[in-house]
């Protein structure tokens, strides 16, 4: 069976995306964001957008001009059903993470600097949000769920691809626990780090990409 090509399903072309990226960069970041690869992903279904980096914000070990390789991934299956405004707010959300990573040299999160930028951009009507839970569009794809035992970040996947033995939270490196499908409690449970310390293993693990979602 032939798979539909991305150009058939992507809501806008990469050229149009880069034009919007450049516009937002000039308007809200004083043009300080260095160029970044933006890709449409047919396989990304855990979030509408995702800022991905393969090394820390201060790493110089790979990439050009001493920058670690990083990119912005956008979900074709999720964004093709959403409006252009939602696509723009998703791109803007990921650009704030890029700014945290490239300019502020810190690990992307939804901390104070994120909120300040978000509010400044929202004053102009961009409607960026921080999603802590996945919206219906996204969760329809998801069968399995894990929750960070430390910060409460949720991770959902279509298949059981997260192994708590090998994976750690993308936000805080905390341990993950699998939750029964459909049983994710509304309220995040915080477990004091002190109770987790004994469980940390020295073995290598994979830090998960944060499922950044913008409405
Ligand atoms: Zn965490
Ligand atoms: Zn985010």
Provide mean pLDDT across the span 121-132.
Answer: 81
> Please, what is the end-to-end C-alpha distance for the chain in angstroms?
32
Q: Please indicate whether residue 46 or residue 36 has the higher confidence score (pLDDT).
A: 36
Are the CB atoms for 117 and 95 separated by under 8 Å?
Answer: no
Specify whether 40 is located in the same domain as 75. yes
Answer whether residue 215 is part of any domain. no
**Mean pLDDT lowest among 49-53, 112-116, 199-203:** 199-203
Q: Please indicate whether residue 186 or residue 138 has the higher confidence score (pLDDT).
A: 138
User: Domains in the chain: how many in total?
Assistant: 2
Determine the distance separating the centroid of ligand 1 and the alpha carbon of 5, expressed in angstroms: 36
The whole-number pLDDT of residue 24 equals 97
Q: Which of these, 72, 76, 64, 49, lies nearest to 130 by C-alpha position?
A: 49
Q: Which residue among the candidates 86, 94, 137, 150 is catalytic per the annotation? A: 94
Answer whether residue 1 is part of any domain. no
- Looking only at the bridges linking them, the beta strands covering 70-75 and 37-41 are parallel
Please tell me the number of the ligand nearest to residue 154's CA. 1
pLDDT(198) > 70: no
- Here the CATH number for the domain that contains residue 51 is 3.30.2010.10
Complex ipTM above 0.90?
no
Provide mean pLDDT across the span 191-203.
Answer: 39
Answer whether residue 90 is part of any domain. yes
Question: Which percentage of the chain shows pLDDT scores above 90?
Answer: 26
The whole-number pLDDT of residue 180 equals 66
Provide mean pLDDT across the span 175-186.
Answer: 68
Please tell me the number of the ligand nearest to residue 99's CA. 2
The whole-number pLDDT of residue 3 equals 43
Answer whether residue 131 is part of any domain. no
CA 140 to chain centre: 18
Specify whether 40 is located in the same domain as 103. yes
Around ion ligand 1, residues with a beta carbon closer than 5 Å are 148, 150-151, 153, 169, 171-172, 174
Q: Please indicate whether residue 139 or residue 101 has the higher confidence score (pLDDT).
A: 101
Task: For helices 14-28 and 112-122, give the axis angle rounded to 10 degrees.
Answer: 100
For 206, which DSSP code?
E
137 is catalytic: no
Specify whether 13 is located in the same domain as 118. yes
Answer whether residue 133 is part of any domain. no
- Quote the domain boundaries for residue 193: 142-207
Q: Which of these, 125, 134, 48, 115, lies nearest to 87 by C-alpha position?
A: 48
């Amino acid at each position: 069976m032939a798979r539909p090509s991305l150009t058939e399903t992507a809501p806008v072309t990469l050229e149009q995306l880069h034009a919007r990226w450049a516009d937002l960069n000039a308007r809200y970041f004083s043009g300080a964001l260095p160029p970044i690869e933006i890709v449409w992903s047919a396989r990304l279904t855990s979030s509408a957008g995702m800022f991905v980096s393969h090394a820390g914000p201060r790493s110089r070990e790979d990439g050009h001009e001493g920058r670690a390789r990083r990119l912005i991934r956008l979900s074709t299956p999720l964004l093709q059903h959403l409006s252009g405004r939602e696509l723009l707010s998703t791109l803007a959300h990921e650009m704030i993470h890029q700014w945290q990573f490239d300019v502020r040299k810190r690990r992307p999160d939804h901390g104070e600097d994120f909120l300040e930028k978000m509010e400044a951009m929202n004053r102009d009507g961009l409607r960026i949000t921080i999603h802590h839970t996945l919206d219906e569009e996204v969760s329809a794809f998801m069968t399995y769920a894990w929750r960070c035992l430390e910060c409460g970040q949720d991770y959902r996947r279509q298949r059981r691809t997260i192994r708590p033995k090998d994976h750690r939270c993308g936000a805080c490196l905390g341990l993950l626990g699998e939750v029964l499908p459909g049983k994710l409690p509304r309220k995040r449970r915080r477990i004091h780090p002190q109770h987790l310390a004994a469980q940390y293993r020295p073995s290598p693990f994979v830090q998960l990409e944060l499922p950044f979602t913008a409405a």
